[in-house]
Amino acid sequence: MKINDLIDLAFKAKENAYAPYSNFKVGAVLIVKDGRKFIGCNVENASYGLSMCAERVALFKAVSEKCRDFESLILVSDSEEFCFPCGACRQALWEFGCDLEIIVVNKKKEIKKAKIRDLLPEAFSSHKEGNPVFGSKSC
CA gap 129, 11 in Å, rounded: 38
80 is catalytic: no
79 half-sphere exposure, CB direction, 13 A CA radius: 16
CA gap 87, 91 in Å, rounded: 6
Q: Is 74 within 8 Å of 103 (Cβ atoms)?
A: yes
In the sheet where 111-115 sits, what is the strand order? 37-41, 26-32, 70-77, 101-105, 111-115
Of the candidates 55, 81, 101, 110, the residue annotated as catalytic is 55
Q: Is 58 within 8 Å of 70 (Cβ atoms)?
A: no
Active-site residue set: 55
